[in-house]
Amino acid sequence: MADWAHSPVHRLTEAGAYIITAGTYQKIHIFDNADKLTFVRDALLSLASSYSWNLEAWAIMSNHYHFIGTPLENCVQSKGKPSHPRSLQRLIAHLHSITAREVNIIDKKPGRKVWFQYWDTHLTYERSYLARLNYVHNNPAHHKLVANASNYEWCSAKWFETEANKSFFKTVMSFKIDKVNIKDDF
């Protein structure tokens, strides 16, 4: 099957960790205040749970987000089927639908296109996985929104710092992120 040249290919067939990046249409800073950012974060966390995805890192900014998650294959979703990587497409579609509707109501812009595309990568190498965990946790600092990502309430950095095993935290934070190849030109 030939790939469509104008949109990212989503090959969600294998279990394991995935990194997701999604951007707003034309990179517009639509989620430009605390209430909007909180709504997206809370919707992401809630939907991840209901679609049986374990989020390991997330960062929500005004015009894009990143997260790393794994399907909980032993969990049973509401329709009695085990979680599968393909449920990620439904999770993202649901997230984009409810957040677009809500922000358009808030901004009084019915029908405005909010989200553009999303990109997913199956993380198959441990070093790649660990570097991307560091990257996502520290993305708000990367974009100079804060000096220390743990001070940004719409990302997982503070949660990771306080909840993760200390040696795992140190290991993840030791990975360099300057050469990580993630679509992030927002």
Amino acid of residue 36: K
Tokens 């991840």 correspond to what residue? 48
Among candidates 178, 162, 152, which has minimal Cα distance to 59?
152
User: Nearest 5 degrees, angle CA 41-CA 56-CA 163?
Assistant: 95
8-state DSSP, 26: G
pLDDT of residue 73: 67
Q: Is 156 exposed, middle or buried (0-12, 13-18, 19+ CB in 10 A)?
A: buried
Count of residues in the chain:
186
Distance (Å, whole) CA 30 – CA 141:
20
Amino acid of residue 58: W
Q: Is 33 exposed, middle or buried (0-12, 13-18, 19+ CB in 10 A)?
A: exposed
pLDDT digits (tens, 9 = 90+) for 119-143: 998 898 899 999 999 999 999 999 9
Map residue 137 onto helix, strand or coil: helix
pLDDT of residue 74: 44
Strands (E), the chain: 17-24, 53-60, 64-71, 115-123
On the question of pLDDT at 8 being above 60, the answer is no
Tokens 């309430």 correspond to what residue? 153
Q: Is 154 exposed, middle or buried (0-12, 13-18, 19+ CB in 10 A)?
A: buried
Among candidates 113, 20, 17, 23, which has minimal Cα distance to 73?
17
pLDDT digits (tens, 9 = 90+) for 138-179: 999 999 999 999 999 999 999 999 999 999 999 999 998 877
| Mean of the per-residue pLDDT values of the chain | 87
pLDDT of residue 154: 98
State the maximum Cα–Cα separation within the chain, in Å, rounded to a whole number. 48
With contact defined as beta carbons under 8 Å apart, do 177 and 66 qualify? no
Note the pTM of the prediction, 2 decimals.
0.85
pLDDT of residue 85: 66
